[in-house]
Amino acid sequence: MTDNRVIGEFLSAVEPTEAEKSKLAVYFESKLGCPVDFVWVEDASLKKGFILRLGGEVYDNTPEGLVRGLKAKIDEIDKSSDDYVSLIRESVENWRPRVLPEEVGIVRSVADGIARVTGLHGVKYGEILTFECGAKGLALDLDEDETGCVLFDDEDVVAGENVYRTGKTAGVPVSEEIIGRVVSALGEPVDGLGAFAADKYMPVESPAPAIIDRSPVNEPLKTGILTIDSMFPIGKGQRELIIGDRQTGKTSVAVDAILNQKGKNVLCVYCAIGQKASTVKRLVSVLRESGALGYTVVVFSSAADSASLQYVAPFSACAIAEYFMNAGRDVLVVYDDLSKHAVAYRALSLLLGRSPGREAYPGDIFYLHSRLLERSAHLSEERGGGSMTALPIVETLGGDISAYIPTNVISITDGQLFLESELFLSGQRPAVNVGLSVSRVGGSAQTKAMKRAVGALRLELAQYREMKTFAQFSGDLDDTVKEQFAFGRALTEILVQPLRRPYEEWEEVVILTASLKKVTVGLDPKEIRPFFDGFLKDFRIRHTAVVANIENGKTLSDEDEAIIVAEAKKLLAEKNV
């Protein structure tokens, strides 16, 4: 007959009596269903209490272990209630020496921000682990014998120290007070304005809303950028990729979209991933000076931060946006940029020993970005009707949109704005390539006035591009071609928009209507923008009814259109006199 006796370790400074050993053996025999014996191991560091090691579990009955157990209970209660006092009173009144089950691991090795931990057999993917020195980490690699833990701060972690499970996934503290603040990837304030009171702990990883919980994307999110609002409209709940080489104005497009949300009851979350602190500081100054910081949260993970913090940053920004979306608010979140995010995750994966795939990225890099961007949605009325609109940014090299990360994110999003270096250097800003850009939501996210005003703008621009190429190889052009060429050049010029100058919707409609009726064809390209600057100021004062119709979402009537064209021609005639 085989004896299935289990041998456990009893760690304490003083050897237990035989009676104490026997009492413990009887308790665990009834729990495990097999005989148990304990071997005493002297540990002078345990001044009070004791620790039991039995199988893969640790039972910590030291004062420190009891305090951790109380803290875990406090973390589990509803933070919005005043239940702390009653919990502490109950714990004190009912206190008695007892064993608390707790799984404790040991750090086997630490290198390059990765800790290899053994002994945590029940740990879950994405769970936060705490180290004896106070550092925290994220469990990202679960092997049969050990756990790969990504450290947020590895300065004090050493091999041999204990690691404790928390049972919680990574999350960020959120409340209304976070609006207008600059926080780290873990939700900690970094703007020097002190802490803020949080009323909820939002997990950075959460399931995307189900199809039944979503509504169609049919409400426009106005960016104030004429090129985008007219030809590539963005709807609330949409995911529109901004893609292009470095120094082509990708961040400027996103920031202008944030500036345009002033007074529109849309909250914004800007996530800076792997950027220089000086760059983010300038951006925060622009937001503050423009009055946009009052409805914006900036999540910042600098280039000097560890790869683990850069990896968590966009998920934290998404969690903050979800908090407000679930409360029925409209939110715009900008991820700047996911190329750096992918590089950070690639570094972590290679350090964790995962097999590299295409361009050395791990095989799950597509799933990484898809589970982030799929959380953007326009919720149904039953779920509160809130929305989260995502503007992810991806950097290309030499305009190659067929690279691994660009093609991944293009396939996840609902359209892309391709910014071209050649257009940027030629002065066409924003440098949106009309041929390679697309919005899969289309006219569903446009007002009636904008739909009518935009007309055949894309077709006219496409014809102009072809004509421009043809004109390079032909010396003689007939009058019809010359007129069409001048018309296309005038249309191109109206799409050039100054930085930090988003248009109101009525301004966009008026500019498009006048331009597509060929009012500005005779003007020199350099005179077109100054002409419209004066025209818009005068039009707003003299025709408030037309402006109100457009702003209220009404369609552009024939009478309104005739007024716009007549006023533009009148001003043009006055200038020519």
Phi, psi angle pair for 25, to nearest 5°: -60, -40
Paired tokens of 402: 């067929």
- Per DSSP, 327 falls in state T
Whether 89 is catalytic is no
Coil, helix or strand for 480? helix
Distance CA 86, CA 81 (A): 11
Judged on CB neighbours under 10 Å (0-12, 13-18, 19+), 32 is: middle
Of 122, 113, 99, nearest to 36 (Cα)? 99
CB contact at 8 A, 202 and 319:
yes
Distance CA 24, CA 26 (A): 5
Paired tokens of 555: 């369609």
Within 94-196, where are the H helices? none
Distance CA 222, CA 251 (A): 17
Amino acid identity, position 396: T
> 108, 371, 440, 529: which one is catalytic?
440
- Per DSSP, 462 falls in state H
Sheet (strand 51-54) strand order: 36-42, 6-12, 51-54, 57-60, 101-102
**Dihedral angle sign, alpha carbons of residues 256, 262, 267, 272:** positive
Distance CA 93, CA 480 (A): 95
Q: Of all helices (H) and strands (E), which one includes residue 24?
A: helix 18-32
What is the distance, to the nearest Å, from the Cα of residue 305 to the centroid of all Cα atoms in its chain?
17
Distance CA 301, CA 377 (A): 25
Placement of tokens 């004429």 in the chain:
226
Residues in the chain, total: 577
**Residues with a known catalytic role:** 440
